[in-house]
Amino acid sequence: MIAKTDKIDIQALLEESHINEVLDKLDQDLVGLVPVKQRIREIAAYLLITKARLQLGIEAAKPSLHMCFTGNPGTGKTTVAMKMADILHRLGYIRQNHVVSVTRDDLVGQYIGHTAPKTKEVIKKAMGGVLFIDEAYYLYKPENERDYGQESIEILLQTMENHRDDLVVILAGYYDRMGTFFKSNPGMSSRIAHHVDFPDYNENELLEITKLMADAMHYNLDEAAFSAMKDYIEKRKQQPHFANARSIRNALDRARLRQANRLFNDAIMHKKETTAEDLSLITEADIRASRVFEGGLNGEQVAKKP
Amino acid sequence: MMTNLNGIVTQGQFSFLPPLTDVQITAQIKYALGKGWAISVEYTDDPHPRNTYWEMFGAPMFDLKDPAGILMEINNCRKTFPNHYIRVMAFSSVRGVESPTMSYIVNRPKNEPGFGIVRQETDGRNIRYTIHSYATDKPEGERY
């Protein structure tokens, strides 16, 4: 019997699980995303309290942990999924701290009878950890009624129900397309306990991300380069296929390419000396040379400058 | 019948012990996964000790991290072949080893008739002995 006066030390439970470290790291590593961080904290608190309830015997069944992350590309869904796995692992809800990241290709086969073994194979690999399905809405293609995606969804649903202790499934995708996906697969929707929406980054946040990424790659951007980057972000946001942090990463990668070219030319053609500082400095010119400033992906620029 | 305490086929590891429970099987799989071995599930209805090549139940499972997936496959196999011998094998791909490192039976028929001894009279009234499984008198698939 459970006495009403039975006590449990939540503080001790928290300290022993070390989830605070993960949450703090989440705060540090990820710029912006305030609502997401808030949700993750809420989920972590809920999981911790449920653990306490389980220990006291108030609760018998483990809670449903399947989640859905919605948001535009490059808003950090995969990164947060990794952190989520860490939190779940520390609280003892999953046995292995690993995330198996898959897309439609890994789950759905090309001919009859190919899908089930493929999906099962993936599920077996993810067992004990987190199965992260990116662009999950692709699994369901309403325009083709013979599509094998449905078979895969059914196997997933079955596993999500029967192996709740062994596997946590996280679905990810665009907000509106995931909405249609859930509408046509109510079984999936009802099995997902937590929906987390990832907002787009604003310009200041993107600039901060630029700095973090450059630091991580051991590059420096000077003042002028930063203001060029600011213009770049403003312009890039208006153009198609903008992918938040991923676009920033690509922009930096291309700036590195131009910087390398510039240094190479300076050293070989002009016989200039190269210092350690030069090697890690990205200048305004490296960023301003981007095609984004010339109208970007729109217009004929694409054909002329691939 | 061969001299054997429980009257059951004894092959591989743990076969003189009572049948392994799922928890014990999970612990064994965990050990094998920890060593980086690939695990496979095989079945047969021919219990002769020299029958080393059993049928594979699905492909060997590489890159798994957790025993739950393998246990799921074992249970699938048990459901499909409830009256067959099923064994779990671990394979080490380490260069120079490249062979099975563990093998143990996780499922057996309810009734194992065992082996009889067959005497063959040869030249000079010599006798050759061989063992013969009573079960294999029937065709494959109908033995247990």
Question: Which residue's structure tokens are 């493929």?
Answer: A118
Q: Is A69 helix (H, G, I), strand (E, B) or coil?
A: strand
Q: With CA atoms as reference, report the closest residue to A69 among A178, A208, A151, A220.
A: A178
Predicted local confidence at residue A298, as pLDDT: 56
Mutant choice from B39, B41, B62, B65 vs A, greatest count of A C-beta within 10 A: B65
Q: Check: CB of residue B7 under 8 Å from CB of residue B111.
A: no
Predicted local confidence at residue B126, as pLDDT: 95
Predicted local confidence at residue A59, as pLDDT: 77
Predicted local confidence at residue B3, as pLDDT: 56
Mutant choice from A124, A158, A161 vs B, greatest count of B C-beta within 10 A: A124
Q: Check: CB of residue A80 under 8 Å from CB of residue A36.
A: yes
What angle (nearest 5°) sits at the alpha carbon of residue A216, between those of residues A230 and A98? Answer: 115
CA distance A118 to A108: 7
- Shortest distance between the Cα of B141 and any Cα of chain A, in A, equals 24
Dihedral of CA atoms A291, A294, A298, A302 in degrees, nearest 10, equals: -50
pLDDT higher than threshold 70 for residue B51? yes
What does the pLDDT average to over A237-245?
A: 87
Please tell me chain A's helix, strand, coil percentages from 3-state DSSP, rounded to the nearest 5.
60, 10, 30
Residue A177 dihedral angles phi and psi, to the nearest 5°: -70, -35
Residue A92's pLDDT band (cuts 50, 70, 90): confident
pLDDT higher than threshold 50 for residue A301? no
Predicted local confidence at residue A305, as pLDDT: 42
DSSP letters spanning B9-51: ---BBTTTSSPPPHHHHHHHHHHHHHTT-EEEEEEES---TT-
Predicted local confidence at residue A153, as pLDDT: 92
Contact between chains at A128 and B66 (C-beta distance less than 8 A) = yes
- Shortest distance between the Cα of A124 and any Cα of chain B, in A, equals 4
Predicted confidence (pLDDT) per residue in A60-84, tens digit = 777 888 999 999 888 889 889 998 8
pLDDT higher than threshold 70 for residue A288? yes
Task: Judge if ipTM > 0.85.
Answer: no
B64 touches chain A (CB under 8 A): yes
Contact between chains at B66 and A96 (C-beta distance less than 8 A) = yes
Predicted confidence (pLDDT) per residue in A192-231, tens digit = 988 999 999 988 889 988 988 898 889 988 888 989 998 8
Amino acid at A293: F
Contact between chains at B66 and A123 (C-beta distance less than 8 A) = no
Token pair for B27 = 């612990």
pLDDT higher than threshold 50 for residue A116? yes
Give, to the nearest 10 degrees, the angle between helix A34-56 and helix A10-17. Answer: 120
Residue A300's pLDDT band (cuts 50, 70, 90): very low
pLDDT higher than threshold 60 for residue A302? no
Predicted local confidence at residue A285, as pLDDT: 87
Q: What is the mean pLDDT of chain A?
A: 87
Residues ≥6 apart with Cβ < 8 Å to B35: B90, B92, B101
CA distance A185 to A196: 18
Going across the sheet that includes B38-44, the strands are B55-56, B38-44, B85-92, B99-107
pLDDT higher than threshold 90 for residue B7? no
Between A304 and A181, the more confident residue is: A181
Predicted confidence (pLDDT) per residue in A140-182, tens digit = 888 887 889 989 999 999 999 888 888 999 999 999 999 999 9
CA distance A39 to A83: 13
Strands A220-221 and A99-102 turn out to be unpaired
Q: What secondary structure letter does DSSP report for A97?
A: -
Token pair for A175 = 């907000």
Residue B1's pLDDT band (cuts 50, 70, 90): very low
Token pair for B143 = 């033995």
What does the pLDDT average to over A123-128?
A: 92
Between A250 and A294, the more confident residue is: A250
Give, to the nearest 10 degrees, the angle between helix A19-29 and helix A77-90. Answer: 170
* Nearest CB neighbour to A95, from listed B66, B72, B73: B66
Strands A99-102 and A130-133 turn out to be parallel
List chain A residues with CB under 8 Å of B68.
95, 127-128, 163, 166-167
> What does pTM read for this prediction?
0.81
CA distance A182 to A180: 5
Q: Is B81 helix (H, G, I), strand (E, B) or coil?
A: coil
Predicted local confidence at residue A296, as pLDDT: 64
Predicted local confidence at residue A1, as pLDDT: 57
CA distance B71 to A124: 10
pLDDT higher than threshold 50 for residue B38? yes
Calculate the CA A264 to chain-centre distance.
36
CA distance A70 to B46: 53
Mutant choice from B30, B71, B72 vs A, greatest count of A C-beta within 10 A: B72
Predicted confidence (pLDDT) per residue in A180-192, tens digit = 999 888 888 888 9
What does the pLDDT average to over B54-68?
A: 91
Amino acid at B16: F
* Nearest CB neighbour to B68, from listed A98, A117, A128: A128
A20 touches chain B (CB under 8 A): no
